[in-house]
Amino acid sequence: MLLSKIYTRTGDKGTTALIGGERVSKSHLRIECYGSLDELNAFIGRLKLLCEAKMLGNIQKMLFDIGAIIATPSGKEWNNMPNINETHIKELENEIDKMNSVLQPLKDFTIPGENETNAEAHICRTVCRRAERILCHAKENGIDISDSVMIYINRLSDYFFVLSRFVATEPSRRQPQAQNLA
């Protein structure tokens, strides 16, 4: 996307355009959905500063794709429209399983804050859960959100939970990429 001018003044009265040009209120559920995903993406950017997991960049790209899907009204399609599918979900599950394989079984609730990376991963988890609740609300109110998007977001919060545990266990695990994990 090429942006030559950042301000357009088209949103000055509280509306914004979906993909295809339809204008909706900035409080529309679609906007709330992809705004929450955008917020999650920003928090993942903070986590990336502490945890050089390649997977985090992939997740950020997926969140942009999901946002684009949600910003597209039902029945509209465009060239190269992203598709979230079982492969993307399986990729998250594989990363979860890799990290989980070296963790002790969970015996208690976890409290965020074992270290800075752990705390940031927990923030990502909770923001992801909130985004998931908003997506559920939108789906219940007639916005077409695919099952695969819902599953991906649900699995993503699981990923952040396991990552938070993984980076809390010992200092050498705060950088999962060093061990080809996460």
> How far is Cα 148 from Cα 114, in angstroms, rounded to an integer?
33
Alpha-carbon gap, residue 44 to 56, rounded angstroms? 7
Residue 17: strand pairing partners:
23
- Percent share of the chain, pLDDT over 90: 60
Per residue in 78-124, pLDDT tens?
A: 777 889 999 999 999 999 999 999 998 877 777 787 899 999 999 99
CA distance 119 to 99: 17
Enumerate the domain spans of the chain. Answer: 25-72+82-103+110-179
For the domain with range 25-72+82-103+110-179, which CATH number is right: 3.90.1150.10, 3.30.70.890, 3.40.50.2300, 1.20.1200.10? Answer: 1.20.1200.10
For 137-151, how does the pLDDT look when each residue is reduced to its tens digit (9 = 90+)?
A: 999 999 999 999 999
Which pTM value belongs to this model? 0.86
Q: What is the pLDDT of residues 24-35, one digit of tens each?
A: 767 789 989 999
